[in-house]
Chains A and B, each alone.
Chain A
């Protein structure tokens, strides 16, 4: 059953080929057998999942029409989305004991859509990382090669979907955290337009960049998941008032006449040659489908790394101020006084990468450096956004590699944060400009998947899903599955 797409699973449930309980048990069994090796889940909610599956089965047995779209479909939530009565750690010791009394809007919408929550997936601590190695719960492994990282920060979600431990997963993307692990694990992941999906109940990393989105094997499945996630939320002031289309509606539209821009900056020196070749092969399939490839420029691309690594830490440094040991989460033992409570709680509760970013962000916002760093970065952010608008005057979508190369080995970059940050060079600008971006499988390099990134103008998710779906009609990279490896961590 785990080889079926969600569209096929929905058919199977509705035609009574199997029940949601059977389907859910199947995934739970796979998780218990395969996840000790993979570590893609932080928390598995067996009883909650079976309860929800039983409820879905009752609904499926009753009414025939008008069932919510995802009734009985299991899925996994990145452990950044608050789940009522289910621990939400955000990959941090700081929230290891945190059980929210509320659901994130995304979570409640998916419950309303009939989905069954299997559990919460592994992630870089507070979504800060590109390899899943900063998780308090240990690194998640790449299902294609356990010695390699799955990418991050939504590495657990990507690995779980790739390994058949969930048919769907939610992720969040602040600088590439959906697209990069999707690429490295060989699945499809979409970062929607900023504001498309509510951030309420999503633990904040960098508020002006964070965006939740779907992760699945296929573009078609991503569309199904996004249909249930998207929409204005009156409790998130930054959520868009924009009408939500049926994201599945344009999947079959032909690509004839589509102009795809290829930014010179995305195919330059930093790109691994074999990865580039895979991406070009995917592009040639789109060309065969009727699209035209156009060379374009995004001149400020290189500035997106310093810009992002000022703005995101600046916002993070204050978003994470609330973890002070006073109301919830980790608190140090026997604090001597207030200062000791703050200092030891945060010293113990946060890992190195989180501390690094809090320090960088605090520095960037301090009175003496605000103009030189934060204000300047905001100005550059506008230049980066303008690059894209200039490009969209010539082309319909933009395409390129999602990452410079395939997954790297565990530990290869942990001692060199700057080389880790370079991993995001093709994805960061999309967040800075608030645009939608999608990564779709584009084959493998040395056995490890790489991704094709598609970037659209604001609220053009349907177009991206359409192009990815057309690619997937002409390739089978998205259907390839990694070998199963049982047992504990190697």
Chain B
């Protein structure tokens, strides 16, 4: 039987506020344990939460970014459970009345096709601390620096059908939230953590199968692998006539497998009820409209604009708009050289190629957008050929200076002097009597192929610096004139 996977994702997105969602403590990553936990975060007696307005603003920005309903009145609830890194014994979250309601999200797959993914809701909540089980001689340590960090939990409908779609969704989500500037999206530091709900059903069925939940997967690659593994595991069970158990599983990246954490059959009763220490959040329409007016251009809008304004294909426009810094880089290069297609090509092939080979981020690129634009200008004004330009780019990457400095220092300026080129052409023609004879004997179709030999010789003679168009014209004259 063939099986269809039904996948829904819950992403815990860390919002990029400087202070925590309910206290003034800092949220900086990587500080010494328990140096960023104040009395509120430690749940000292009598301490009370005060809602961080910026976290609310960021949640609203997200909601507007996916065209969702914004809850004009949202309510915080207590989610009660005991755990040592949960100081109050409850997490402040939003259960019945989330700040962001239903929305839709467009994703683009590798083949360029697009799909809409439904967003069920997104709500604000606080993160817990961390339990550390090593280095304490059989005891556990608690680090509460992360306790109270603002999270936006973004829940999709079960609209995803494959690992590829899940990853495409996460990439699009990452792109959106970094565009909005509401999260740094740093997965390695846990700024985007993903829970995967996954079940299988016979292809064509509209019933849902029993799902397993895979907790806390924190990279695109691991999400892809965890889903592939889980699809395989569940289909093995179903093929053998077994039943999938509803449970929480953990993805073990080292062993590339998921394994059972705890059974959800004995479900926790979290005793949700409205948080009496916080008032309901009532959003003013004017405030929401002010946020809407201040939203930056979003990835989908930018991609469409790139297609129209620069006549780029969907794929190129998608790559170049995937992140705001890359899009800005591209637009600077395109504006600086005046040729968007040339700029798109160079940014995607040369720049991204070098960055990938050197495992660098765009911010670390030794060649700025302005410098690259300067190089492309020299191609356009025929100072250098595209081929030479790649050499120049390499030198710029190594820190040898601007395009003009490299061209000057290395003497790479294209030879466009017609006298000089005529001499070279004449010499090549004189030195190659056999080829000339062969050329002259050939018909029009063959001549086009044979001319390549002469071009190569001239280029060799000019050490690649001859202006290719002029060489072609001069050769045509020289070879054809004695016909």
In angstroms, Cα B394 to Cα A425, docked, is 86
In angstroms, Cα B78 to Cα A353, docked, is 23
Chain B residue contacts of A204, Cβ below 8 A = 45-46, 277
Q: Binary interface profile of B, 37-56, with partner A (CB < 8 Å = 1, else 0)?
A: 00100111111111100000
**Which residues of chain B (230-278) have a CB below 8 Å from chain A?**
269, 271-273, 276-278
**Which residues of chain B (32-84) have a CB below 8 Å from chain A?**
39, 42-51, 78, 80, 82, 84
Q: Is A202 touching B46 in the complex (CB atoms < 8 A)?
A: yes
Asked whether B279 is an interface residue with its Cβ less than 8 Å from the other chain, the reply is yes
**Which residues of chain A (430-458) have a CB below 8 Å from chain B?**
none
Interface SS of chain B? loop
Asked whether B87 is an interface residue with its Cβ less than 8 Å from the other chain, the reply is yes
Tell me the minimal C-beta distance from A412 to chain B in angstroms.
Answer: 31
Chain B residue contacts of A370, Cβ below 8 A = 271, 273
Asked whether B88 is an interface residue with its Cβ less than 8 Å from the other chain, the reply is yes
Asked whether A199 is an interface residue with its Cβ less than 8 Å from the other chain, the reply is yes
In angstroms, Cα B49 to Cα A204, docked, is 13
Q: Which residue on B lies nearest to A90, using beta carbons?
A: B45
Asked whether B395 is an interface residue with its Cβ less than 8 Å from the other chain, the reply is no
**Which residues of chain A (192-222) have a CB below 8 Å from chain B?**
199-204, 206-208
* Size range of the chain B interface in the assembly: 20 to 34
The interface on chain A, measured as residues whose beta carbon lies within 8 A of the other chain's beta carbons, has a size of 42
Asked whether A288 is an interface residue with its Cβ less than 8 Å from the other chain, the reply is no
In angstroms, Cα B47 to Cα A314, docked, is 19
In angstroms, Cα B142 to Cα A324, docked, is 13
**Which residues of chain B (73-105) have a CB below 8 Å from chain A?**
78, 80, 82, 84, 87-90
Asked whether A374 is an interface residue with its Cβ less than 8 Å from the other chain, the reply is yes
Q: Is B271 touching A366 in the complex (CB atoms < 8 A)?
A: yes
User: Known contacts A101-B39, A238-B277, A338-B84; is A318 also within 8 Å of B44 by CB?
Assistant: no
Q: Is A234 touching B50 in the complex (CB atoms < 8 A)?
A: yes
Asked whether A104 is an interface residue with its Cβ less than 8 Å from the other chain, the reply is yes
**Which residues of chain A (82-125) have a CB below 8 Å from chain B?**
82, 88, 90, 95, 98, 100-102, 104
**Which residues of chain A (350-390) have a CB below 8 Å from chain B?**
362, 365-367, 370, 374
Chain A residue contacts of B277, Cβ below 8 A = 204, 207, 237-238
Q: Out of A82, A314, A367, which one reaches B45, CB within 8 Å?
A: A82
User: Known contacts A318-B90, A327-B42; is A236 also within 8 Å of B48 by CB?
Assistant: yes
Q: Is B39 touching A102 in the complex (CB atoms < 8 A)?
A: yes
Q: Is B273 touching A314 in the complex (CB atoms < 8 A)?
A: yes
Tell me the minimal C-beta distance from A7 to chain B in angstroms.
Answer: 31
**Which residues of chain A (166-203) have a CB below 8 Å from chain B?**
199-203
Tell me the minimal C-beta distance from A373 to chain B in angstroms.
Answer: 11
Q: Binary interface profile of A, 291-331, with partner B (CB < 8 Å = 1, else 0)?
A: 00000000000000000000000110110011010111000
Interface SS of chain A? loop
Chain A residue contacts of B88, Cβ below 8 A = 318, 321-322
Asked whether A235 is an interface residue with its Cβ less than 8 Å from the other chain, the reply is yes
Chain B residue contacts of A206, Cβ below 8 A = 276
In angstroms, Cα B270 to Cα A370, docked, is 11
Q: Is A238 touching B45 in the complex (CB atoms < 8 A)?
A: no
Tell me the minimal C-beta distance from A411 to chain B in angstroms.
Answer: 30
In angstroms, Cα B279 to Cα A317, docked, is 20
Q: Is B39 touching A321 in the complex (CB atoms < 8 A)?
A: no
Chain A residue contacts of B44, Cβ below 8 A = 100-102, 327-328
Chain A residue contacts of B271, Cβ below 8 A = 317-318, 362, 365-367, 370
Asked whether A342 is an interface residue with its Cβ less than 8 Å from the other chain, the reply is yes
In angstroms, Cα B51 to Cα A93, docked, is 32
Q: Is A88 touching B45 in the complex (CB atoms < 8 A)?
A: yes
Q: Is B50 touching A237 in the complex (CB atoms < 8 A)?
A: yes
Chain A residue contacts of B49, Cβ below 8 A = 237
Chain A residue contacts of B276, Cβ below 8 A = 206-208, 238, 315
**Which residues of chain A (126-143) have a CB below 8 Å from chain B?**
none
Most buried by A among B45, B51, B87, B88: B45
Q: Is B80 touching A318 in the complex (CB atoms < 8 A)?
A: yes
Q: Is A318 touching B89 in the complex (CB atoms < 8 A)?
A: yes
Q: Is B45 touching A200 in the complex (CB atoms < 8 A)?
A: no
Q: Out of B42, B51, B87, B273, which one reaches A237, CB within 8 Å?
A: B51
Tell me the minimal C-beta distance from B76 to chain A in angstroms.
Answer: 10
Tell me the minimal C-beta distance from A311 to chain B in angstroms.
Answer: 9
**Which residues of chain B (3-54) have a CB below 8 Å from chain A?**
39, 42-51
Q: Is A322 touching B279 in the complex (CB atoms < 8 A)?
A: no
> 9 tightest A-B contacts by CB?
A321-B89, A207-B276, A365-B271, A208-B276, A201-B46, A322-B43, A203-B45, A367-B269, A82-B46
B residues with CB within 8 A of A: 39, 42-51, 78, 80, 82, 84, 87-90, 142, 269, 271-273, 276-279
Q: Can you give 16 contacting A-B residue pairs, CB < 8 Å?
A: A82-B46, A88-B45, A102-B39, A102-B44, A104-B46, A201-B46, A207-B277, A318-B88, A321-B88, A321-B89, A322-B45, A322-B88, A324-B82, A326-B142, A365-B272, A365-B273
